[in-house]
Structure 1
């Protein structure tokens, strides 16, 4: 049985998809240049076609994001649900958020998403058409590299601006917020890639367990491994007041950065978030801990308090523009307390992302391959010894050391069902 192969739409398919877009943009006699829009390892639940539409009067630079049609793949991954979730974000959730920011006169608005052009929701033909932001100078971060301070500052700032909108909607337009978020159930936790994902988590923790000799540390890691299901159930059952519409999938391949000087990647000047297929309701810490623990080098892990204070200060500034006192929404101490509970999610995602990020191109096994490969399971793919295994182990241990030193591994069993 063959694996899902990279796909690029042919010109006739592109013309059919973009016909109404071209008409709306008043482009006459368009010429199309078509090629693959992503490389292996850049994405897992879709394939991209890059399209440049050129004419005498106007050019468009687009990405057509298509859902895999493979029945086998769709039986393994809820492709349709994730595409409909992302379509809902671009067609309803973000436009409502943006209009609300304008209505409230927010000058420094959250606008870090690509322009949306159209969607197709037909079963097995789901499509999203977005601007190709590479043409505006945005570029992906090298997945093998950890983030530096400048990129973290920008990420914590943009997520604060994004989360502030949910808090403000709950304050002023609670019914509208409920309407936007009522269907944003968690798709990842119940097993978006089947319950084998929990096996992958458990096996990854077992690898980390073997990096330590201390019996108490081993016991804490074992307790984490044995209570994974309870912990994830606690995440999705959270009904507290500090809940927002999250981004959901916050690793480096789902964000792009812009630089005034493209040759100086130490000074990002803009950010754009991508891939809203896992948007859901949850603690802001789910987003923050995900990108932080998936991308922080050892020396920046030590600056966690600094980044949380910065996030809280930006959140305070944004909410003040909405006419809201941050202390009535979430105090800094409440944010830190939430971190103790929900940052385990970022840690668990981080240990998987670290492995994936450090694989060489010839080692990458897409989820689509696993769905068609009877000889290798998802969990087994994470237990292979990679070319960069020593570096993987070093990063996993740095991250776990941080969690242990800050007492973030041990469960507060009173919180569990």
Structure 2
């Protein structure tokens, strides 16, 4: 999984855009109107920006920020909204739109493994309690194997807790992988 997370996503030359690189809910700031409705959103935490396919950011965001049922039910709307906004900004700037909505759909599917792996890796951190956080101060290279074993024990215990949302959220991603043909 770490190999896929670090090395897998190779962008299509046709779809190179300025990509956030760490696009998920915790890196979004919202401004609300008096009625409590969101009227503006800003991405923060910009140290991972690079040229890449938007499919990687979309997978990262949709797999880490939504439950599987929400994402599956609304995927087409998410992709259409992204594409419509992206292409309208380019048109307003008198720049050509380099790819179609269908191209984006295909690229999203091609990079779906990245979204799945990101979900698997980040779910324990996102849904963990304070006591679940790994102790990493003063860890040396000699300690890595024991730290990894302790982390696995923590993740297993998180899944065994009464009423654990963690277990459902983590297992949902395997249904996504089967649906995408990544697992059989």
Is the TM-score greater than 0.5?
A: yes
State yes or no: 1:271 paired with 2:53: no
2:139 — aligned with what?
371
**Is the CA contact 1:255–1:274 (under 8 Å) kept in the aligned structure 2?**
yes
CA separation of 1:337/1:359 partners in 2, compared to 1, >3 Å: closer, same or farther? Answer: same
1:345 positional shift: 1.2
Q: Write out per-residue CA displacement over residues 230-280 of structure 1, whole angstroms, 9 at most, x where no aligned residue.
A: x854525x4612112211112232222222259x4xx32222222122222
Gap regions ≥5 residues in structure 2: none
**Is the CA contact 2:27–2:45 (under 8 Å) kept in the aligned structure 1?**
yes
Q: In structure 2, which of residues 88, 91, 102 is the aligned counterpart of residue 320 of structure 1?
A: 91
CA distance in 2, matches of 1:324, 1:403: 36
**Is the CA contact 1:294–1:349 (under 8 Å) kept in the aligned structure 2?**
yes
CA separation of 1:352/1:319 partners in 2, compared to 1, >3 Å: closer, same or farther? Answer: same
Q: Which has the higher contact order (CA 8 A, sep 6+)?
A: 2
CA separation of 1:245/1:403 partners in 2, compared to 1, >3 Å: closer, same or farther? Answer: same
CA distance in 2, matches of 1:351, 1:292: 13
**Is the CA contact 2:56–2:111 (under 8 Å) kept in the aligned structure 1?**
yes
CA separation of 1:305/1:380 partners in 2, compared to 1, >3 Å: closer, same or farther? Answer: farther
CA separation of 1:370/1:281 partners in 2, compared to 1, >3 Å: closer, same or farther? Answer: farther
State yes or no: 1:249 paired with 2:22: yes
SS at match of 1:330: coil
2:102 — aligned with what?
333
2:124 — aligned with what?
355
1:293 positional shift: 0.1
CA separation of 1:401/1:322 partners in 2, compared to 1, >3 Å: closer, same or farther? Answer: same
State yes or no: 1:392 paired with 2:166: yes
CA separation of 1:380/1:349 partners in 2, compared to 1, >3 Å: closer, same or farther? Answer: farther
1:397 positional shift: 2.0
Q: Write out per-residue CA displacement over residues 134-171 of structure 1, whole angstroms, 9 at most, x where no aligned residue.
A: xxxxxxxxxxxxxxxxxxxxxxxxxxxxxxxxxxxxxx
SS at match of 1:377: helix
**Is the CA contact 2:68–2:172 (under 8 Å) kept in the aligned structure 1?**
yes
Query: Mapping of 1:11-22 within 5 angstroms?
Result: none
Q: In structure 1, which of residues 294, 306, 313 is the aligned counterpart of residue 77 of structure 2?
A: 306
CA distance in 2, matches of 1:333, 1:235: 19
CA distance in 1, matches of 2:12, 2:138: 35
TM-score after normalising by structure 2 = 0.79
CA separation of 1:258/1:341 partners in 2, compared to 1, >3 Å: closer, same or farther? Answer: same
> Cα RMSD between the aligned structures?
2.8
> Rg bigger for which structure?
1
CA distance in 2, matches of 1:325, 1:279: 22
**Is the CA contact 2:21–2:50 (under 8 Å) kept in the aligned structure 1?**
yes
**Is the CA contact 2:16–2:51 (under 8 Å) kept in the aligned structure 1?**
yes
TM-score after normalising by structure 1 = 0.38
**Is the CA contact 2:90–2:96 (under 8 Å) kept in the aligned structure 1?**
yes
CA distance in 2, matches of 1:350, 1:374: 26
Q: Write out per-residue CA displacement over residues 93-150 of structure 1, whole angstroms, 9 at most, x where no aligned residue.
A: xxxxxxxxxxxxxxxxxxxxxxxxxxxxxxxxxxxxxxxxxxxxxxxxxxxxxxxxxx
**Is the CA contact 1:359–1:386 (under 8 Å) kept in the aligned structure 2?**
no
Q: In structure 2, which of residues 108, 115, 122 is the aligned counterpart of residue 346 of structure 1?
A: 115
CA separation of 1:277/1:371 partners in 2, compared to 1, >3 Å: closer, same or farther? Answer: farther
